[in-house]
Every structure is written in C-alpha cells, then in structure tokens.
C-alpha cells in the first residue's frame, strides 16, 4: 500500500452521491438473490454476479440496476440493505453520507410507504449507534417512470417526511427525460424545505444542466461533467457556487467517458467549478469511495494535502448543519496534521 493510498484509507470523509440499491455489496445482493431465487434474473453466485455487473452502456446499466431494485421486496429487505450500507461506509472512514433513495420503486412493489420510511429510519439509527455513520436521505424521482413517479415521490416525501430526509432528486436516464417537466414537483419540495439535487449532464450535454438550474433550482448537480463543454456554464457554476457531484469510475463504466485519462474533472477544477468526489453505485462499478479519491488524486495531480482538500470540499458542499460540518472539518484537519506526507 502506498503512502497516499494509506492516507486516503484513514481520512475521515463525507459522501454526497451514492445510491441506496446501487450500494448493495455483492454479499447482500447474493443473499437477496438467493432469498428470491427463481423469480429474478440476478445470480446468487458471486462470480456470476461480477459478470452480471459488466455493463455495455448506460441503458444496460439501468436495466441491470432495476433488476437489483426488484430484489428489495419487503421492509426487512430495506432495513437490511440500509444498515449494511452504513457498515460498508464506516469501513472507509465515511462519517456522513447523503444516500439517494428511490422510494417509488419499493412502494410500487408493494412495500407501504410508512413501512419503507420506518425501515430506513431504523437502519439510520442503527448505523449511527453501531458504526458511527450519520446517514441522510435524498428521495429521488426515477426519471424513466415519468410524472406519476414524480407525484408519488413527492407525496411520500411530504406526507412521511422521515427525520433523515434533506433533499429531493431526479435520477435515471437523461436522454428522452427532459428536466423541465419536473419543475412543479421540485417547486413544492423546495417550498417544503428540501434541497434540490437533480442528476444532469452525465450522458447528455450542458443544456440539461442549464435546465436543472433554471427549472429545478438545483443547488448541487449529480454528475454534471458535460459542463466542461460550456465555458459560460462553468463560469456560472463557479460564480454561483453550484457544486458538481463527480463520480469518475461510474462515468467510465457507463461509457459516459471513453477512458479515465479523458475525464473532464481537471478541466472543471481548473475553471473553479466546486466539486466533490463520490462513488455513485460502488459495488456495481467495482469501486469504492477510497478508490475514487485515488483516481481523482491522479487526474488532478494531488498530494495528501490536496486529497484532504477534496474531503473538506465534500463537507462544505454537504447539507450537514453548521455544527456537524465544523466537527467533521476539525477531524479532517487533525488527521491531516498527524498523517500528512
């Protein structure tokens, strides 16, 4: 293990773009697949599962992702998955994570919304107690399911309002799913005090990001790497301090970029665009948050101090209350002072 790798492994972190079902470890996916064997195409064998997670393109990724979503069939599955995500995050020294959750998918499968929210909240309490990880929720609209999904996601968010809920998002495919159509739902979510964090500019161009800002009031952008194609947009993001949630390996695995060497993170950083580094759907993409920090360090040519800067940026761009930010920033500073290379 190199000195920088070791430094990254111990560095206290926050993660802002990581999906609930997409964080299911192979162990948990295999367990769920075995539980529902015969009624799901997802293999229970870990070796076959690794092959199953080889994606041809973004559309194929969505297809596979939804097949794993289909394994979450009752409140017990929800609680197990959420709690185990807390365990995995803690192993990487993640102290705080904003988990993107799609309640519509589970409620449509027959899990009552109150039971779903009770399960994630119970897991949230368990993760804090047992692993020292604070979890928060972003309820996101699965864009491929259209306006009915938006309406139901908003209803669940506003009627159930679990304690950990802080933001409202939009995920799924971008192509053929215009951002502006979701404006009424984001307007209501924002009026209720939820932050706006839609995906945009991952597999489409800069205009999708402009739409997310203008129509959805985006405070952060999920992915947003297409901003590198528009100098005016990069200047706007920098001026208005609208951060991008960058997930390098995810962009490679879904073919949003041809190779990591061509990833635009360095262009974005050089333009002063605020950003954080995240893992998106780590087991599905064969990565971890630690690996994403290492990738970013190479692409941005960072030393340990620069990597610590990435960790601080994630905290600054989070929706943690001021006290929580101060505590985590102090922990990062203490660690960096003791371990800087």
* Separation CA 300–CA 313 (nearest Å): 14
Position of tokens 């973004």? Answer: 58
Q: How many residues does the chain have?
A: 341
Active site annotation includes 202? yes
* Separation CA 279–CA 18 (nearest Å): 6
* Separation CA 76–CA 334 (nearest Å): 39
Expressed in angstroms, the distance from the first to the final Cα of the chain is 14
Contact partners, residue 298, CB within 8 Å, separation at least 6 = none
**In the structure encoding, which two tokens stand for residue 286, read together?**
């064969």
* SS3 (DSSP) at 16: strand
Catalytic one of 202, 245, 290, 292:
202
Measured from the Cβ of residue 277, the count of other Cβ atoms closer than 10 Å reads 27
* Separation CA 229–CA 200 (nearest Å): 13
Contact partners, residue 168, CB within 8 Å, separation at least 6 = 138, 139, 140, 141, 153, 154, 157, 185, 186, 189, 190, 194, 195, 196, 197
| CB-neighbour burial class of residue 229 (10 A; exposed 0-12, middle 13-18, buried 19+) | middle
Measured from the Cβ of residue 110, the count of other Cβ atoms closer than 10 Å reads 8
* Separation CA 36–CA 42 (nearest Å): 9
* Separation CA 178–CA 210 (nearest Å): 11
Residues annotated as part of the active site: 202
């Amino acid at each position: 293990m190199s000195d920088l790798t070791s430094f990254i492994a111990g560095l206290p972190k926050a993660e802002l773009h990581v999906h609930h079902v997409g964080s299911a470890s192979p162990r948990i996916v295999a367990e769920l697949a075995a539980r529902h064997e015969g009624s799901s195409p997802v293999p229970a064998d870990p070796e076959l599962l690794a092959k199953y997670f080889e994606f041809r393109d973004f559309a194929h990724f969505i297809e596979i992702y939804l097949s794993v979503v289909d394994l979450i069939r009752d409140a017990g599955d929800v609680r197990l998955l959420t709690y185990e995500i807390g365990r995995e995050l803690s192993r990487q020294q993640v102290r705080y994570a904003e988990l993107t959750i799609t309640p519509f998918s589970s409620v449509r499968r027959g899990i009552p919304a109150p039971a779903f929210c009770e399960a994630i909240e119970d897991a949230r309490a368990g993760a804090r107690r047992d692993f020292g990880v604070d979890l928060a929720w972003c309820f996101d609209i699965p864009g491929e399911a259209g306006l009915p999904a938006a309406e139901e996601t908003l209803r669940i968010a506003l009627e159930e309002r679990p304690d950990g809920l802080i933001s409202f998002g939009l995920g799924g495919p971008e192509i053929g799913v215009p951002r502006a159509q979701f404006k009424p739902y984001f307007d209501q979510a924002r009026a209720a005090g939820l932050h706006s964090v839609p995906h945009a500019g991952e597999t489409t161009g800069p205009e999708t990001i402009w739409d997310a800002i203008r129509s959805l009031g985006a405070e952060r952008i999920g992915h947003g790497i297409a901003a590198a194609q528009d100098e005016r947009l990069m200047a706007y993001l920098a001026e208005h301090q609208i951060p991008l949630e960058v997930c390098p390996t995810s962009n490679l695995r879904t073919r949003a970029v041809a190779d990591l060497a061509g990833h635009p993170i360095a262009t974005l950083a050089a333009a002063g665009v605020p950003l954080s580094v995240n893992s998106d759907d780590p087991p599905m993409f064969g990565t971890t948050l630690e690996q994403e920090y290492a990738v970013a360090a190479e692409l941005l040519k960072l030393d340990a101090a620069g990597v610590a800067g990435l960790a601080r940026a994630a905290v600054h761009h989070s929706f943690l209350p001021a006290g929580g930010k101060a505590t985590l920033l102090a922990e990062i500073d203490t660690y960096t002072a003791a371990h800087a290379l």
